[in-house]
């Protein structure tokens, strides 16, 4: 399964990044890089939680970056 990170700058200057394939996986940062790093960590924690609670089976993952 492939996951992508989409990001864009909000009107107030903050950056928001999200992983569309994982509902609720979004994070803000003061830079695009910070927002992407935060959402990547969040996505990995969500996947780990799913594996630990047997909600998902181990799958190969790939993370790519795309501007919104």
**68 pLDDT exceeds 70?**
no
Higher-pLDDT residue of 24 and 14 is: 14
- Any idea which residue has 């990001």 for tokens? 7
CA distances from 14 to 5, 8, 27, 38, 65 (A): 16, 9, 10, 13, 18
Instruction: Quote the pTM value.
Output: 0.75
- Domain locations in the chain? 2-67
**Pick among 3.30.160, 2.115.10, 3.30.2450, 3.30.420: CATH of 2-67:** 3.30.160
The mean pLDDT value for 38-65 works out to 79
The predicted structure's pLDDT at residue 67: 63
Contact 62, 43 (CB under 8 A): no
- Any idea which residue has 């501007």 for tokens? 67
The predicted structure's pLDDT at residue 43: 92
């Amino acid at each position: 399964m492939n996951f992508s990170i989409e990001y864009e700058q909000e009107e107030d200057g903050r950056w928001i990044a999200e992983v569309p394939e994982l509902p609720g996986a979004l994070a803000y940062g003061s830079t695009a890089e910070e927002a992407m790093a935060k959402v990547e960590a969040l996505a990995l924690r969500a996947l780990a939680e799913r594996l630990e609670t047997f909600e998902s089976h181990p799958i190969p993952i790939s993370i790519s970056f795309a501007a919104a």
